[in-house]
Structure 1
Amino acid sequence: MKYCYYILSVSLLILIFSCDDKVDLEQFIDDSEELTLVYSSISPQDTILKVRVLKTLSSDNNIEINNSDAFVIPNAVITLSDATNNSVRLSYNSDDKNYQIEATQLEILPGATYFLSVMVDQREFTSSCTIPNNAVTELAFELTDNLNNAGDLKESVTIRFLDIPEASNNYIVGARIEDDAFDLFLDFENRRFITDQIEDGALLASFGFFNNNPDSVTDITLQVANVEPILYDSLFASYSNKENRQNPFYEVIIPPNNIEGENAYGVFAGFQITERLITYQ
């Protein structure tokens, strides 16, 4: 017998940086087994290392679709370690619904490999990731008018940066707006995903539109992350599936998985992030 499961679809963008993606509760269709879901991304720029552990639930359990607490596993044992056997155990944070530890407890270095162990009810799930060697060195910006998807000319923030040469790179572009009065963000749409497949070392650019009136905006933190390919592919699949959920002709992209263990799914990946604070006028 097949069951219809609800899954907490976690955007790893939230674990990388704050941008316009939110955590949504979505249907996970035609899965006959309960899954343990593990999501984490780490970088040398982190101040806190985070791991999120979740589970799927059958719709027979009468779970409220907006009740995110029902999907969280709060009693897992989470360990991060490096290749020299330095290891740390993360503690559960009930406010953020994830496992955390200060990044000073385990040094995250460019080019280094790290290992994740997750114990849930005597079942172990493992993974590893390697931090990209380099981060983007400098971000330039410009306030420009561009056409949105509706064909309207709107003010946008354009981010430009040089591709890291002599390497194959995958970038995620975003921005953080500090504004308590409104839920403001820059929407980069599919332009948040950039690669250097066309030309190595080229000048790359992306632009995002304000989702609301930006009159109250003073500061914007521009962000470009150089991410592992599996993280790029996972984020792209999540974004594309969400944007095309109403399209009956769309073929769903299956997100990649590098979590080892029975009935486990998720991504553990490394990245490096570059930020620039600008004053918006």
Structure 2
Amino acid sequence: MTSSEAPATASGPAESSRASGSSGATARPAVRGNTMPAAIRAEWTKVRTLRSTLAVLAATFVVSVGLALLSGISVGNALEADNGRVRPDFHPVDSGFNIVWYTQLGLVAFGVLLITGEFGSGMIRISLAAVPRRARLYLAKAAVCVAVTLPLAAVTVVLSFLLDQAGLGEYGVPLDEPGVVRGMALGTVYLTLIALLAFGVATAVRSTAFALGAMYLFLFALSPLSQAVPGLKEAARYLPDKAGIQALKVGADADPALGPWGGILVVVGWTALALLAGWLAFRRREV
């Protein structure tokens, strides 16, 4: 074959395709597939087929409900023995939602791994080749984050509360106790928002270790320390974890100035900022 024959050979299938009218048929499915539902389905497939993310989600649920039951039994026994180990301002409703503080650990990890795993492995290039529009890919990942964490958070919060109250025995409260249903709803929303916040931070820094380290350091070191500093104590109430957890409180620890709905709005604001930072980094940086 001569070099002059190569173009004819290469163009032959295309010309025969146009002649038969099949080129339009092959182009249209590609256009239809490059839509938001298709991008979301692709991201959902990644989540349900990755063992690491499934392990994180399963461990989050099992550990949360297990700790809730153990906590309820422990506190119930302490109340029965009247040994002074329970705070005087103890409230059973607050006890039922304390597990949210630990559940967020797993959901933060999920939000981080949802994006940093692809940066670390280089798979993000393949994702962008399949979904060239970065805004669509970013929104699809955020949507899957919500679709996974929202139902998991709801089941975990409700079941953890019920198990905690069962462990408390006679000191537990029923579901119609004031603040219970609201706490279940806001606890679910808070956990979903904190996972999205972690997703935004992870997208901005593109590192699993750095994102997890920053989130955990903030939640379990910097945020508690800020409350111990007199000049920062007032401002600390507006940090995302403090505002979110306060939204679940009904006892003496409740913040009457902020209120439950105000607390959730604070978390919404922090989450929006994190997602914006993640998007700006994702849009501008090479991968």
The normalised TM-score by structure 2 is: 0.22
Higher relative contact order (CA 8 A, sep 6+): 2
Higher CA-based Rg: 2
Select the structure that is richer in helix. 2
The normalised TM-score by structure 1 is: 0.23
